[in-house]
A and B are shown apart, each in its own frame.
Chain A
Amino acid sequence: MAALCESFTLCGLGPGGGLGLGGGLLALEPGPDPDHVLLTDRGRTATLFKVSDQKPLGCWSVKHGQVITCPVVCNFETHEYVAVHDDKVLRIWKNQDINLDKVFKATLSADVYRIHSLPNGGPVVLFKGGGVRTLDVLLEAPQQEIENVISDEVIKWSEAFMEGQQPVLIFATEKDGDVFVYVQKLKMNSLHRYKLEQQESSKPLSFMAYIKKQIITLLCLYSNDSVYKVLIPLQQNTEEEEQILPKSLLLNLSVSGSVLKGTSFVVLDKDHIAVLGTLAVSGEESKECLTIWNTKFQTLQTSKELPLGTSGQLWCYEEKFFFTHGKVLTVIMYKCETSSLAAAVGKLKDSQTPDVSSFVNWNTLEDEELAASLPSEQPVALKSESRMSLRSKKNTVAKVQPDTLSVGQLLLNLKNASTTVFEDELRQLMSKVQMPDLQATIGCVVTALINRCKTNPKYYPRNFLLQIVQTQDLSYSLCPDLMAVALEKKDVYLLQICLQRFPDIPEEITCACLKVFLSISEAYLQRIDVNLESVICYIDIELNNKEVKTEIVENGFNVELEQDIWDTKITKETHLTAGGEFCPVGPQKAALLNAILHSAYSETFLLPHLKNLPAQQAVLFLRYLYYLYVKCSEKINTALPGIRCPTISQIMDWMCLVLDAHFTVMVMLPEAKGLLSDLHKFVRAQVRFYSELNKIEGSLRELQRLNHQKDPQTYSIEVLELI
């Protein structure tokens, strides 16, 4: 749950309030150290505050007649302050400077829109014409020509990030009701222009953006009281023509009849945003409020009324909100915990966050975030409809990028492209795909990949395939050849994941997987990365290691003795296996087999394929099943510990199936004899045990009945016997 804590006043904004000179606040930027903020007012002054002490540490003003036009920022690398007054005059000073007239000055050739200071990238200057320079570049030649990129559009908002080592600047412009988004990668000097999908009868009021895993997520607050989300892929190799950015509704700012007219907002973490605005309840006077919303559950988490009115601006640094409230700048701390169902019902274990980082760390956002924001598994019927709507949109919008038109077309085009280009394109395609089409598109992508694998036997994009299977909700029917190729390549890890994730694997493939798993040697498997979570809780890996160790030690002994030890060891081992103590297969193989046991099947279809299993493999499989069965029976609840463990009924069913399929072979095979008789003994013991339990059930029930005798009345006469 998110919660607002107590508030305090940072400083007054009125004539007597220290910041003076009216006009309100232009902007608030982080200061050189944690807990410091830089305030720039709409006049001549910039002030540095230590927030927790509510104390101004420094204050700088420009001369009368000059106006600071761009918020003062701090260059985190040099601890200098950078400001622009009168649009063109750049000033740079340090903490100890007092008079701004005497500090470094540079007059630029174009008007500055804003300076963005990045924690380890230095300041980046955005000009009103859309040109972008880093401060270093600009200072080398202050009078250099600055290009005009955006002609007569007006910049409404801008933001800068570090992506890897390169600064990325994103800004939004507006012209005649159209909104354009520009993404500028400084190092590569690449500029992309996107057009934002139009929203009927409402316009964007405020933007926020964050970057995560090469994708910029842009959130826009629209005047229809909704927050929309736009995903912009950063991996754009080629200069393309203007693209339309589709947007999805993230949050509707209304709660039980009342609507929040937001004016500005900030993103707190992956599930929470804070919105400042007026809450209009029908029939009541509207009130200004600061609210925190959960986007995952679409709920209003907390709100605070601000009766004295605000300027509509909201900043957020280091878990604190800053906004003007009446004539003062107010600071409110907030707490924002990850929302989960457990937390909502109060079942969350009290886990104290170890240390609260001062900035929101977008890299901690979970992978599922992307997928979760998309509605999963749209009915197939919707797909065509959405495509139709896309086409109709195409008519209204002048230009539409060709690849949203038809994925198949694009894939066809790519058929002969080089491997890297091909993968790049597919990645891009997946990042900007329309939501209802997601499933189908991914199916197409995988099919394209697989087709390429088939034509080019050396090509096998294992990691890409793994990534797709792990992150997307695929099914077997969407990419029927995927598993076939994986089987061919003996990619057991991919097969394991497929078995765990696909709901509709045909029995033939399941059997083929089983065959491959049983045939692969343990030595090979040990080198392979397999998901072991289903076995680690019950298989004693240590035991296996110990065996390896003793073997190494025994190498020093003479042959005769070694032979002797070997013999005893083998007998011992087989004995223990019969007793069901040692797992007959290694943990990797066990994990793979568990995936098989977990998959869905129908007996009639499975049985004929199971018959194709070689006898030795069938015995091994049966031995493993027997081991699992004994393990299960050790516990009173007959369940194995761990995640994705086979249940006792799954084990029993498979045991029966294997016995059915290989009945004659089992009876004939000498090495199966011991196993079968052990199995028989164990099952017989179990049957006896349960029948005994059945017998005492009656008595137990009677005992229970005695315990639950009804409460005596307020008066009764009872018989008591004392002996």
Chain B
Amino acid sequence: MGEFEVHRVRFFGLVPAGVRCLACQPRGTRLALARTDGAVEVYSFAANYFQEKVIPGHDSRSVEALCWAAGDRLFGAGLNGEVTEYDLARLCAARSVDGCGGPIWSMAANSNGTQLAIGCEDGSVKLFQVVPGGIEFERNLDRRKGRILCLSWHPSDTHIAAGSIDILRVIDVSSGQTVQRIMVNYHVQKVKRECVVWSIAFLSSGTIVTSDSFGRVQFWDRERGTLVESHTVSTSAVLSLAVSEEEDSIIVGTSTGATYQFQLLPVKAGSLEKRWVRTKPFQYHTHDVRAVAHSSTALISGGLDAQLVIRPLMEKMQKKGYDAALRKFTFPHRRLVSCARKARLLLFQFSQHLELWRLGSTDETGKDGEVLPLCRMPEHLVQLKSKGPEHIYCSCVSPCGSWVAYSTASRFHLYRVQYEGNSVSIKKVPKMPKLLLPAYQLQFSSDSSSLFVASARGAVHVLQLLEPGGCKHQHTLRPPSGSPEAVYLLASSADGHWVAAVSGDWAIHIYNLKCFKHHCLVPTYSCAVTALAIHPVTNNLVIAYSDQQLFEFSIPEKQYTAWSRTVQSCGLHRVWLERDSPITHITFNPKNPSHILLHDIYMFCVLDKSLPLPDNSALLMNQGTLKQLPETARKRQLHAFKICKKFQPLLFADLLDENCLVMVERPIMDIKTQLPLPIQQKKFGT
């Protein structure tokens, strides 16, 4: 097929924020995750754990606790003392209510999601009523000294267990009185250190499970206030704990990065007496496991090393499939890099700043695998810092490299970048048109004359860019039937005719830009769209879904192409479907219309539509084999998927010109060196 000159970029210094808390939607299929920078993410179990929603962080809005209430409403509470409801359609913080008890350390919803209890710094437990359009303060429960670090409702909603320092309390909800007070350190004599109850769970049997800073997981009898069982799992703190809905399994996370499963098992086979047994230890994290969750089929843990680990419970799996794979998410399922093809620039998006880099160049050529000598080094041109506490939602650089745009929750910025010789000047475009913010995705047209802004309620704003540095609102495209969800992916055609927009309900709308009219809706598919792009020559829309399916939709003909139908009838290769990270970017080679370039975190693939699709008996990743075959023998082995796994983890890949690629990698080791040292663990010695 050919040789590429690959610009292998490893200077994108992204350090994902650590995972602070996790919340599984009760009886639902979604997982909410909050990071230490205040960002909140929602993963959909139904869509193969795709990260479907991201609400970027905010400096003053740390999230200490997340919980789902009233079905699918998501609440967060943090050290700013406020309880915040998140708008998952508009991907922003909707309303905040002050808890009036100082920093909030914990929050829990009752079993039917009508009440929220928060645990505050001042030692109070407050109840809030979840009402349509927000929450209302209901009353204070018994207040004692010591911050409430964790809370758990009894499944019958009559009592709340609250963990504090050295102590845990059981509060009667109806009377508001403390009915039981348990000193967790009572039987350990003369302990100087305080014992922090990090996490608590109230089981329907009346047993209270706590995890504490002494590395213990303890089971208490609520009525008598006695210790029933104690398991020391770690020499350092056990930070987090989660119970399965059937209350037969518990996952705990420790500050050494290890997680353990406890299971309620019969003492003997067939015996009725059951006991909690520590069954499975896992060591997937290098740092504190601050958050764990227990879904019906998997143990989920999130650590300060920014990893979200989903470990399926094999005993709950019916068949080997997509759900049965252990997965580790370190990077977001969306692009943080944009590329100016013509100007050979890369724009990196960090949480609060942008970096613009110019790629280096070489004038030599070589054989496969060779590293070419550089004649120009890459250059860091501009660092753009976003003012204010809000984190960046999205950013983009125009193909010509002279425009850079980004958006935060409340502000939208467009810059004009000018290059004169070696100097770079950057000028903010004044008098921006008032738009409905935030913008969720930005996309410049290929001739850099207009900017598409993805907005809430399915709207796409079209801004016309004016020389030397101005901009004008041209039109707003809206789906004809309206949509409550925000647009999160955009694709525009090279000829400037079409733009495709994907909103949170996974509907893909195509608009005609010549007449600013809604053109059509791509047939709805029951899975999240992870990437899409419009072919520059054929105007076919290529769509990648989170279940790894690929579709090609002809925009002019408003129907799936013949190739797409072939793909659907033949089916994709089994190995392709079993991949566990979504395609995050699609691009094309204008010189070779049959090629589709796509990538996920672990591979880069050139899909050649002119070649036959591989069947399940064929080797999908066959590049290595092909290289060893003589030229003549290769013919018979060729298939459509040309996969390269050399570049990992791959955050971004794009085609600069006909045979020049850019690959942005972020080695995990580079991130690890940026993280604080983990708890020192002795490997040798006594």
CB distance from B459 to the nearest CB of A (A): 39
Contact B6 A717 (CB under 8 A): yes
Contact present for B9 and A715 (CB under 8 Å): yes
State in angstroms the CA–CA spacing of A716 and B359 once bound together.
10
B646 to A720, Cβ gap below 8 A?
Answer: yes
Let me know if A457 is at the binding interface, CB within 8 A. Answer: no
Find out whether the CB atom of B365 lies under 8 angstroms from the CB atom of A719. yes
A6: chain B residues within 8 A (beta carbon): 189
- Asked if A696 CB lies within 8 Å of chain B CBs, one says no
* Chain B residue contacts of A343, Cβ below 8 A: 686
Tell which of A1, A345, A716, A722 touches B644, judged by Cβ atoms closer than 8 Å: A722
Given A346-B682, A346-B685, A722-B644, are A713 and B10 neighbors across the interface (CB < 8 Å)?
yes
Q: Which residue of B lies closest to A712 (CB)?
A: B8
A721 touches B (CB below 8 Å)? yes
Q: Which residues of A contact B638 (CB under 8 A)?
A: 723
Q: How far is the CA of A722 from the CA of B9 in the complex (A)?
A: 19
Which of A1, A345, A346, A719 is close to B4, meaning CB atoms less than 8 Å apart? A719
Q: Determine the chain A residues whose CB is within 8 A of the CB of B189 once the complex forms.
A: 6, 8
**B370 neighbours in A (Cβ, 8 Å):** 718-719
Q: Is the CB of B1 within 8 A of A717?
A: no
Contact (Cβ within 8 A) A715 B10: yes
Is B366 within 8 A of A719, CB to CB? yes
Return the CB mask of A321-346 against B: 1 if under 8 Å, else 0.
00000000000000000000001111
Q: A714 vs B634: C-alpha distance in the bound complex, in angstroms?
A: 34
Q: Are A715 and B377 in contact (CB under 8 A)?
A: yes
User: Smallest Cβ distance from B16 to chain A, in angstroms?
Assistant: 19
Contacts of B369 in A (CB 8 A): 718-720
Bound complex: CA A344 to CA B7 (Å): 52
Tell me the complex Cα distance, A343–B684, Å: 10
Q: Using Cβ atoms and an 8 Å threshold, which residues of chain A touch B372?
A: 716-719
**Most A CB within 10 A of own CB, among B8, B360, B365, B623:** B8
Are A718 and B6 in touch, CB under 8 angstroms?
yes
Contact A720 B368 (CB under 8 A): yes
**Given that A346-B686, A719-B370, A722-B642 are known contacts, is A714 also in contact with B10, CB under 8 Å in the complex?**
yes
In the bound complex, do residue A719 and residue B5 qualify as a contact, i.e. CB atoms below 8 Å apart? yes
Quick one: which of B491-519 are within 8 Å of A by CB?
A: none
Q: Are B367 and A719 in contact (CB under 8 A)?
A: yes
| Contact across chains for B3 and A721 when beta carbons are under 8 A apart | yes
- B27 at the A interface (CB under 8 A): no
B235 within 8 A of A: no
B2 in the interface (beta carbon within 8 A): yes
Residues of A within 8 A of B661 (CB): 720
- In the complex, the answer to whether A717 meets B627 with C-beta atoms within 8 Å is no
Query: Are A723's CB and B686's CB within 8 A?
Result: no
Given known A344-B686, A346-B682, A722-B606, contact A717–B634 (CB-CB < 8 A): no
B102: CB under 8 A from chain A? no
Tell me which residues across on chain A come within 8 A of B155, comparing CB atoms.
none
Of chain B, the residue at the smallest CB distance from A348 is B686
Q: Name which of A6, A713, A715, A719 has the most chain B CB atoms within 10 A of its CB.
A: A719
- With beta carbons under 8 angstroms apart, the residue of A345, A346, A714, A718 that contacts B371 is A718
The total of chain B residues at the interface (CB under 8 A) is 40
Query: Measured between C-beta atoms, what is the minimum distance from B594 to chain A in Å?
Result: 14
B626 with A723: CB separation less than 8 A: yes
Known contacts A6-B189, A8-B189, A723-B623; A718/B684 CB under 8 A: no
**How many residues on A have C-beta within 8 angstroms of the other chain's C-beta atoms?**
20
Instruction: Give, as a whole number of angstroms, the nearest-CB distance from A352 to chain B.
Output: 15
Output the nearest chain A residue to B7 by Cβ-Cβ distance.
A717
Interface residues of A in 669-723 (CB under 8 A from B): 712-723
Q: Is B362 an interface residue (CB 8 A)?
A: yes
| Closest beta carbon of chain A to B639's beta carbon, Å | 11
Question: Restricting to A1-38, which residues have a CB under 8 Å from any CB of B?
Answer: 1, 6, 8
Known: A8-B189, A712-B371, A714-B11. A719 touches B6 (CB 8 A): yes
Complexed CA–CA distance, A221 and B74 (Å): 72
Across the interface, name the chain A residue whose C-beta is closest to B188. Answer: A6
Return chain A residues, CB-CB under 8 Å to B8: 712, 715-718
Indicate whether B435 reaches chain A with its CB closer than 8 angstroms: no
> Number of residue pairs across A and B with beta carbons under 8 Å?
90
Which positions 636-674 of chain B face chain A at CB distance < 8 Å?
638, 642, 644, 646, 661
Q: Cα distance A713–B4 when bound, in Å?
A: 19
- B4 partner residues in chain A, CB cutoff 8 A: 719-722
Q: Measured between C-beta atoms, what is the minimum distance from B648 to chain A in Å?
A: 12
Are B3 and A720 within 8 A (Cβ)?
yes
Residues 196-219 of B, flagged 1 when their CB comes within 8 A of A and 0 if not, give 000000000000000000000000
For B626, what are the chain A residues with a Cβ–Cβ distance below 8 Å?
723
Q: Are B377 and A1 in contact (CB under 8 A)?
A: no
Residue of A nearest to B357 (CB): A715
Q: Which residues of A contact B6 (CB under 8 A)?
A: 717-720
What CA separation (Å) do A523 and B4 show in the bound complex? 79
Q: Nearest Cβ distance between residue A548 and chain B, in whole angstroms?
A: 43
What residues of chain A lie closer than 8 Å to B684, measured between beta carbons?
345-347
Contact: A723 with B642, CB < 8 Å? yes
B378 within 8 A of A: yes
A6 to B189, CA, bound (A): 8
Residue interface mask A296-326, B partner, CB < 8 A = 1: 0000000000000000000000000000000
**A347 to chain B: closest residue by CB:** B684
Q: Which residues of B contact A1 (CB under 8 A)?
A: 686
Q: How far is the CA of A18 from the CA of B606 in the complex (A)?
A: 88
Cα distance, A346 to B684, chains bound together (Å) = 5
**With A344-B686, A712-B371, A723-B634 known to touch, is A717 a contact of B362 (CB < 8 Å)?**
yes
A254→B371 CA distance, assembly (Å) = 64
Write out the residue numbers on chain B whose beta carbons fall within 8 Å of the beta carbon of A720. Answer: 3-4, 6, 368-369, 644, 646, 661
A723 to B369 Cα, complex, angstroms: 13
B374 within 8 A of A: yes
Instruction: Mark each residue of chain B from 9 to 26: 1 if its CB lies under 8 Å from any CB of chain A, else 0.
Output: 111000000000000000
CB B330 to nearest CB in A, in angstroms, measures 19
Residues on A with C-beta less than 8 A from B378 are: 715
CB of B491 to closest CB in A, whole Å: 24
Complex Cα spacing A343 to B4, Å? 57
**Cα A716 to Cα B372 with chains together (Å):** 7
B646 — nearest CB in chain A belongs to which residue? A720
Residue pair A722, B1 in contact (C-beta under 8 Å): yes
Interface membership of chain A positions 343-384, coded 1 if the CB is closer than 8 angstroms to chain B and 0 otherwise: 111110000000000000000000000000000000000000
- B682 shortest CB reach to chain A, Å: 7
Q: How far is the CB of A709 from chain B (nearest CB, A)?
A: 9
Contact A716 B371 (CB under 8 A): yes
Please indicate the chain A residues that have their CB under 8 angstroms from the CB of B627 in the complex. Answer: 721, 723
Within the complex, the shortest CB–CB distance from B228 to chain A, in Å, comes to: 21
* A21 nearest CB across to chain B (Å): 29
Task: Determine whether the beta carbon of A722 is less than 8 Å from that of B2.
Answer: yes
Q: How far is the CB of B368 from chain A (nearest CB, A)?
A: 4
| Complex contacts, A722 vs chain B, CB 8 Å | 1-4, 606, 623, 642, 644
Distance between Cα atoms of A235 and B483 in the complex (Å): 102
CA distance A239 to B368 in the complex (A): 96
Query: What residue in chain A is nearest B627 (Cβ atoms)?
Result: A723
Q: Does B368 contact A719, Cβ atoms closer than 8 Å?
A: yes
In the complex, the chain B residue whose C-beta lies closest to that of A7 is B189
Nearest Cβ distance between residue A716 and chain B, in whole angstroms? 5
In angstroms, Cα B189 to Cα A8, docked, is: 9
What are 12 contact pairs spanning A and B, CB under 8 A? A344-B686, A715-B377, A716-B374, A717-B5, A717-B374, A718-B370, A719-B365, A720-B3, A720-B6, A720-B369, A720-B644, A722-B606
A717-B360, A717-B362, A723-B642 known, 16 other contacts, Cβ within 8 Å? A344-B686, A346-B682, A712-B8, A715-B11, A715-B360, A717-B6, A717-B7, A717-B371, A720-B3, A720-B4, A720-B6, A720-B644, A721-B3, A721-B4, A722-B4, A722-B642
Per CB-CB distance, the 3 closest pairs between chain A and chain B, nearest first, are A721-B368, A723-B626, A714-B10
Interface residues of A (CB under 8 A from B): 1, 6, 8, 343-347, 712-723
B residues adjacent to A (C-beta < 8 A): 1-11, 189, 360-362, 365-372, 374, 377-378, 606, 623, 626-627, 634, 638, 642, 644, 646, 661, 682, 684-686
